[in-house]
Structure 1
Amino acid sequence: MATLGQPVIVLPENVKRYVGRDAQRMNILAGRVIAETVRTTLGPKGMDKMLVDDLGDIVITNDGVTILKEMSVEHPAAKMLIEVAKTQEKEVGDGTTTAVVIAGELLRKAEELLDQNVHPTIIINGYQLALKKALEELENIAIDIKPDDVEMLKKIAMTAITGKGAEKAREKLAEVIVEAVRTVIDENGKVDKDLIKIEKKEGAPIEKTELIKGVVIDKERVNPQMPKKVENAKIALLNCPIEVKETETDAEIRITDPAKLMEFIEQEEKMLKEMVDMIKATGANVVFCQKGIDDLAQHYLAKAGILAVRRVKKSDMEKLAKATGAKIVTNIKDLTPEDLGEAGLVEERKVAGDAMIFVEDCKHPKAVTILVRGTTEHVMEEVARAIDDAIGVVACTIEDGKIVAGGGAPEVELARRIRDFAETVEGREQLAVKAFADALEVIPRTLAENSGLDPIDTLVNLRAKHERDGVTLGLDVFTGEVVDMLEEGVVEPLRVKTQAIISATEATEMLLRIDDVIAAEKLDKDKDKGDSDMGDMGGDF
């Protein structure tokens, strides 16, 4: 038995522990700091962030998930909120900032309830009731659209692009994106976004971005003697080297007679020539090889008038197979005329000083390439991110066939309906349901703030109009007026909103359940600095 007054040490000295309200306060603070970081990027008038890593590389963007990925975040609660953004990006491609901002506001409202001595479990129950109601009401206010409604799909793409660096060319980009997504729809009406390749080259304005109905490979011919342009191409895809194979085991060949050495070299040459003859015999006039091509084999291929490219990425090989109908062959001996794919044109062209291979006019182009242009590298990268987001939202819309208005309209309407629903909830959960409704209004409020408008006046105006006139009224950030977002063409897929609200709520609930944080310090090499892995739990961002 310990003597009276002697402390009982359970944890080692390099471990910090935060219990109860302290733990909750620290986690909520960390989550809110992350939300505040990306909040100013929301909407068409959102600002950009410049991120500089420890190597001096610069990223300029207002894409929520890119900002959060590039930030060196230490705090575990903050990392959980970054997971929300990553999930949103993976599932729908857009709405990452929305998801994180809602999560941050849900945490702020939860903190207010905790200060009023409402138990975390009651807050969580209230949030779950409100979430269920929100998802029901979202389904009710969603508008059905047909997958072949091209004009509406373009509006969805333009909404996703607006506010990003590519905004000035959004109409041209929207056309390119919608055509690309509609090209890769499979027979079940699903869209495989991996079949849309985004190839980037700086040195031209954004408006020069184009869609290639086929595949662009960032490689050049292996030999300048090969044809630059092949029409009516018969394409072989090889997943094996066009080289003399080395022996499986370490072997040493000793040659005493010079004539034997010549024989040995001639035999190697003969094997390479046979390989090229096999390819030529199938009728192939273009070869894409995933592995290497021997210098001598290059010479024979050039003599045979075959255009060859080596070290092609696996993902590009798969896209070529989809676009041309070719089969990827792992042994040249197995190559038959039936394995070849077809394309109207295979050509090497110079883009921004670099040679690229264009495979175009494919019979059934189930893989396409968007060649993204930008005047500088940073502009081009931001355009590519905007295109990637827009591809995600157009794909979601085609698959689900449901959209909602933008401009904060669904959030204001949901908040109104959830407040009405709160009146039917008994007990302290009612407070949490109302807090959930208030938290959703952070989106229109932030849109107003980022546009230089008065957030309180804007929100009051929006609420009043929603009580009277309808569910699609939102904030036009350019005029400050409340307008019908559907008529203005500001629309988003239903899935963007549902996913954002679900992931924000679940992350908030997970953080609220934590009442004890036990954190070990960093390893010895960092101990001298006095840093702990939790950044002293105060949010070392």
Structure 2
Amino acid sequence: MAGLGGQPVFIMSEDAQRQTGEDAQENNIAACKTVAKAVRTTLGPKGMDKMMVDSMGDIVVTNDGVTILEEMNLEHPAAKMMVEVAQTQEEEVGDGTTSAVVFAGELLKQAEDLLDQEIHPTIITQGFRLARQKSTEVLEDISMDVSVNDTDTLEKVAKTAMTGKSAEASRDYLAEVAVKAIHQVAEETGDEIVLDRDQIKVEKSQGGSVEDTELVQGVILNKEGVHGNMPNSIDDANIALLKSPIEVRETETDAEINISDPSQMKNFVEQEEQQLKEMVESIAESGADVVLCQKGIDDMAQHYLAKEGIFAARRVSSGDLDKLSKATGANIVTSINDIEKADLGRAGSVKERKVGGDPMTFISDCPEAKSVSILIRGGTEHVVNEIDRAMEDAIGSVVSALRSGRVVGGGGATEVELARELRDYADTVGGREQLAINAFADAIEVLPRTLAENAGFDPIDSLVELRNKHEDGEVWAGLDVTSGKSEVLFEKGVVEPRQIKTQAVQSASEAAEMILRIDDVISASGFDSDGGDAGGGPPGGPGGGMPGGMGGMM
């Protein structure tokens, strides 16, 4: 770096690396395109699965976009931003992660062509911003209403979310379970429907078949009774929820007790036993016959509880206590001495049973449960995990549909309609920004194009046919991946929440805009695909933009 008198002035460490201008942009775009390409083949009902093997040898088989990206050991900073796109999509909507990442990658690919035409990145990002705003307006105009009572449409949304995953063979049954669960936890507050996604607990157990998956009006605990003599089945249960331990409290200060003869020791032990007995008596007097405790239960207290015929479980998580409170109507008590009958919750049945060889406690048949549990079953661990991911996507999609109250058609119909509207809009925008808006429209059509590719059809023919249908006014014309024809799939049950599309457009566009504005990448220390110091060259290795190509990501 030039300094006074021609002497170089170094302001960075010797092993720092710097990449500027077009090189930095090309490297970042290449990294993001590689990430998008990695998940692109998983998109849609005919998408393929990926097998991920981590350093410990554990295997994950899935086509869930965010799971694949999180399992990859990505090092390139721009590539990590693509993972953030998927994570944001997952957190906000619960589905559509692959679509968001593929769209972001295609936006950058289109932007690369514009950069080659000497169009400044600021102009491109401004055009993308205008296209994003217009897309949001179009989605608002073309979307259709849905309400919590529209069970049929909600089940279609759930089935669409599960299409293409291992759960597809049983999606009718699983969609019904998902919608029932959401109906159970939905609360009306005036004109608004309040949905707390966290009040739906999903438990997994290997064994049985997918059809053995069940919905419990209450909470399933991965716990068993603390004493063998406790009852393992209680009907019409009165449930106490405790945050405090059923143990003798230790003094807060260090204390020393001098015992001079055995009788004093005996008195000391008896005093502790008496305290525990009084705690159990307080619980019994309140009318509780089930105790679920967040903390520990002393061995002697377990004995007294069993003698009283009370079922007890310990180390119940704070989150499960909150769900139990919502399900049973019980108050969470912090002091055993203060427990009263009014604090107890109600459940039609509390039963301990073995599922797949593991003991579980079912608190079910709660009369007004606002928290429910879904027990997922499957033949192998990989099947159970994939069904779990499919169920999470289905629940997330239905919740998103209800929160926005709007749905759109799937099968690429929404994207082709957006592209058509954006091209019309671009003609009304002056300057070079219209080139970026047209590029945005071309990029969003990557989704129907990929659906066709993954289904084995010619993407160009499929896209041309879809465009013609939309020009003729068929807003919901999408690609039927079974026949390869353009059909109104909305009527066939391919329905998605509007929020999936809105969030994907926003997250992908914002990420692409941020990456395009980067013209200088400074790495504090070099790295290569082996994790050591790189002698020279740009961060992330040459060309592909990712350390060691795809091999460096795993």
| TM category, shorter | over 0.9
**In structure 2, how many angstroms separate the alpha carbons of the residues matched to 1:404 and 1:467?**
18
State the shift of 1:531 in Å: 9.5
Kept after mapping to 2: 8 A contact 1:521/1:527: no
**In structure 2, how many angstroms separate the alpha carbons of the residues matched to 1:416 and 1:528?**
49
**In structure 1, how many angstroms separate the alpha carbons of the residues matched to 2:6 and 2:363?**
81
Kept after mapping to 2: 8 A contact 1:286/1:307: yes
Q: Which residue of 2 aligns with 1:9?
A: 10
Deviations 1:27-51 (A, max 9, x none): 1111111111111110001011111
Kept after mapping to 1: 8 A contact 2:407/2:498: yes
Q: Structure 1 stretches (4+) deviating beyond 2 angstroms?
A: 1-12, 525-538
Change (3 A) 1:316 1:409: same
Secondary structure of residue in 2 paired with 1:308: strand
Kept after mapping to 2: 8 A contact 1:520/1:533: no
Equivalent residue for 1:245, pick from 234, 238, 249: 249
Q: Which residue of 1 aligns with 2:52?
A: 51
**In structure 2, how many angstroms separate the alpha carbons of the residues matched to 1:65 and 1:244?**
47
Kept after mapping to 2: 8 A contact 1:74/1:534: no
**In structure 2, how many angstroms separate the alpha carbons of the residues matched to 1:183 and 1:526?**
50
State the shift of 1:399 in Å: 2.1
Kept after mapping to 2: 8 A contact 1:185/1:192: yes
Output aligned runs, 1:179-218, within 5 Å.
179-188=180-189, 189-218=193-222
Deviations 1:238-264 (A, max 9, x none): 111111111112222221111111111
* Fraction of identical pairs, as percent: 58
Secondary structure of residue in 1 paired with 2:490: helix
**1:473 and 2:474 aligned:** no
State the shift of 1:97 in Å: 0.6
State the shift of 1:363 in Å: 2.0
Structure 1 counterpart of 2:40, one-letter code: R
**1:425 and 2:432 aligned:** no
Secondary structure of residue in 1 paired with 2:112: helix
Q: Which residue of 2 aligns with 1:484?
A: 488
Structure 2 counterpart of 1:233, one-letter code: A
Q: Which residue of 2 aligns with 1:535?
A: 540
Equivalent residue for 1:326, pick from 321, 330, 354: 330
State the shift of 1:400 in Å: 1.9
Q: Which residue of 2 aligns with 1:357?
A: 361
Kept after mapping to 1: 8 A contact 2:412/2:478: yes
**Alignment length, in residue pairs?**
541
State the shift of 1:9 in Å: 3.1
Output aligned runs, 1:38-77, within 5 Å.
38-77=39-78
**In structure 2, how many angstroms separate the alpha carbons of the residues matched to 1:378 and 1:63?**
13
Secondary structure of residue in 2 paired with 1:356: strand
Q: Which residue of 1 aligns with 2:344?
A: 340
RMSD: 1.8
Deviations 1:30-89 (A, max 9, x none): 111111111111000101111111111111111101111111110111111111110110
**In structure 1, how many angstroms separate the alpha carbons of the residues matched to 2:111 and 2:463?**
21
Output aligned runs, 1:69-148, within 5 Å.
69-148=70-149
**1:398 and 2:398 aligned:** no
State the shift of 1:469 in Å: 3.9
Deviations 1:340-369 (A, max 9, x none): 101111010111111111011112100000
State the shift of 1:2 in Å: 5.5
Output aligned runs, 1:119-518, within 5 Å.
119-188=120-189, 189-518=193-522
**In structure 1, how many angstroms separate the alpha carbons of the residues matched to 2:230 and 2:97?**
47
Structure 1 unpaired stretches of 5+: none
**In structure 1, how many angstroms separate the alpha carbons of the residues matched to 2:68 and 2:500?**
19
**In structure 2, how many angstroms separate the alpha carbons of the residues matched to 1:530 and 1:248?**
58
Structure 2 counterpart of 1:107, one-letter code: L
Change (3 A) 1:533 1:284: farther
TM-score by length of 2: 0.95
State the shift of 1:398 in Å: 1.7
Change (3 A) 1:318 1:522: farther
Change (3 A) 1:60 1:119: same
Q: Which residue of 1 aligns with 2:550?
A: none
State the shift of 1:530 in Å: 5.7
Task: Between 420-429 and 160-169, report the one with greater CA deviation.
Answer: 420-429
Kept after mapping to 2: 8 A contact 1:172/1:207: yes
**In structure 2, how many angstroms separate the alpha carbons of the residues matched to 1:485 and 1:435?**
27
Kept after mapping to 2: 8 A contact 1:220/1:309: yes
Deviations 1:388-416 (A, max 9, x none): 01101111112222110000001011111
State the shift of 1:536 in Å: 3.4
**In structure 1, how many angstroms separate the alpha carbons of the residues matched to 2:83 and 2:210?**
30
**In structure 1, how many angstroms separate the alpha carbons of the residues matched to 2:147 and 2:292?**
39
Kept after mapping to 1: 8 A contact 2:227/2:302: yes
Secondary structure of residue in 2 paired with 1:187: strand
TM-score by length of 1: 0.97
Structure 2 counterpart of 1:381, one-letter code: N
**In structure 2, how many angstroms separate the alpha carbons of the residues matched to 1:291 and 1:3?**
69
**In structure 1, how many angstroms separate the alpha carbons of the residues matched to 2:438 and 2:4?**
52
Structure 1 counterpart of 2:58, one-letter code: D
**In structure 2, how many angstroms separate the alpha carbons of the residues matched to 1:233 and 1:302?**
15
Deviations 1:195-216 (A, max 9, x none): 0000000111111111001000
**In structure 2, how many angstroms separate the alpha carbons of the residues matched to 1:80 and 1:531?**
24
Secondary structure of residue in 1 paired with 2:194: coil
Secondary structure of residue in 1 paired with 2:541: helix
**In structure 2, how many angstroms separate the alpha carbons of the residues matched to 1:151 and 1:3?**
76
Structure 2 counterpart of 1:93, one-letter code: G
Kept after mapping to 1: 8 A contact 2:280/2:301: yes
Structure 1 counterpart of 2:541, one-letter code: D
Structure 2 unpaired stretches of 5+: 548-552
Change (3 A) 1:258 1:214: same
